[in-house]
Amino acid sequence: MSHSSSWSSKIGFVLAAAGSAIGLGAIWKFPYTAGTNGGAIFVLLFVIFTIIVALPVQLAEFYIGRTGGKNAIDSFKTLRPGSLWPWVGRIGVAACFILLSFYSVVGGWVLNYVVHSFTGEIAPNVDFGALFEKTISNPTSSILYQGLFMLITIWVVKGGISDGIEKANRYLMPALFILFIVLAIRSLTLPGAMEGVSFLLKPDWSKIKSETMLTALGQAFFALSIGVSAMITYASYLGKDQDMFRSGNIIMWMNLLVSLLAGLVIFPAVFALGATPSQGPGLIFVVLPAVFMKIPSGNYLFAVFMMLVVFATLTSAFSMLETVIAATIRQDERKRSRHTWVIGIAIFIVGIPSALSFGVWSDVLIFNKSIFDLWDYIITAIIMPLCALSISIFTGWIQDRQSVLTNAGMGSTVPKTLLYLWLGALRYIAPIAIIVVFINSLQII
């Protein structure tokens, strides 16, 4: 193992894995999903599901990656040679490829908005709904910015683990937290902001529906980026002396904190300015700029917020690309640069139809969904739950119980009881929860 193919420090892994988990899921998807699913009741369910379902599965991915010590496919081969289990890794790697192809489209919009902020297109009295429509439906700029986003991602990942991904996350993640706290304080001091806080934090029990529960569970998976082998890949660069339970716990709380901060930046401002929280995916592109324009030096603050979203989007993109690269270079770091370029460009090309599905190809529908929405549905509603289910069964039932406890507990100071609780959650709670969500998601089609 050369030094560039492992984490140089404990905090390096935590920041990178948190960066993987904290992406558009926390900043873009969480606020609008909470907004359209009854606010606080959704938040409460999301926190519960994150702790009892998503965290155990994330830790199982850490166990597989660290014990296998290789990429997502080969780690399964090491732990279960000659079985079909490596297919879980293969599907996860393929999912990362597709996920990044449409994720980079949204990353492109975010980059475009940073540019909008500096060119004066984000200004008071602008119709932000029209600006957003124009931004996502323009084929040239959509593809251009998607390409730029992929270029940055390729550039960092080709630098390797400690020199590329870890270095980038070391600066991006702390910046994200500091700026978020500043923006949340600003948002909370607006008149009428408390209505937004109670929407986010005071549960209205009448809003509890099976659909809300499903969406919250889906969001919990999405939030910790489980089920796509990214965490297996990152954990494969971990030493046996690292406490994976403590790391997993920190990553989960960082992610919950950012989700809540995003809610505290967005909802108080939305309520204070009389907008509706249930605006869907356009929330940060349409509602937020309007909100910022009512604040002194709002266009600069908005530019800062969009830079934050860029950071968060990129740190997730790094993990998706790394998952695919690790599976193709198979520990041979000499191949890294070339593979990263070739695969990165391939992902960009596959993403072009998604970039066009809000403009020139908006009438191309498959199963009543645009190309972008179809990929999103396949990955988040089908592949993520199935892979998460496989990982919980593999770790909870297929692997030898004692060896799982021993390997997972290495370098860890957690009490034995917690280890048993974790395994219990993996064996019983996680699979049942995942199956329920999965069956329901199939009925929504």
d(CA 225, CA 221): 6
Backbone phi, psi, residue 369, to 5° = -125, 150
Q: Assign domain 3-444 to a CATH class.
A: mainly alpha
Largest CA distance in the chain: 64
**Which residues neighbour 182 within 8 Å (Cβ) at sequence distance 6 or greater?**
none
Cβ-in-10-Å burial (0-12, 13-18, 19+) of 351 comes to buried
Tens-digit pLDDT profile for residues 62-88: 999 999 999 999 999 999 999 999 999
Start-end of H helices in 189-236:
193-201, 210-223, 230-235
d(CA 215, CA 193): 26
d(CA 89, CA 102): 20
Confidence of residue 387 (pLDDT cuts 50, 70, 90): very high
Residue 35 confidence (pLDDT) above 80: yes
Domain boundaries, the chain: 3-444
Residue 273 DSSP class = T
- What's the average model confidence in pLDDT over 85-102? 96
Residue with tokens 């199956």: 435
Angle of the 40-49 helix axis to the 193-201 helix axis, nearest 10: 40
Residue 3 confidence (pLDDT) above 70: no
Tens-digit pLDDT profile for residues 256-296: 988 898 888 888 888 887 777 766 667 788 878 887 887 77
Cβ-in-10-Å burial (0-12, 13-18, 19+) of 361 comes to middle
Tens-digit pLDDT profile for residues 158-181: 988 878 888 888 888 888 888 888
d(CA 223, CA 75): 23
Structure tokens at 394: 């593999």
Name beta bridge partners: 369.
366
CA angle 70–76–81, rounded 5-degree value: 110
> What pLDDT, on a 0 to 100 scale, did the predictor assign at position 1?
36
Element (H, E) at 138: none
Q: How far is CA 82 from the centre of its chain?
A: 32
**Looking at 24-28, 92-96, 130-134, 358-362, which range is the least confident one?**
24-28
In the chain, the amino acid numbered 85 is W
- A 10 A CB-CB count for 133 gives 16
- What's the average model confidence in pLDDT over 331-355? 96
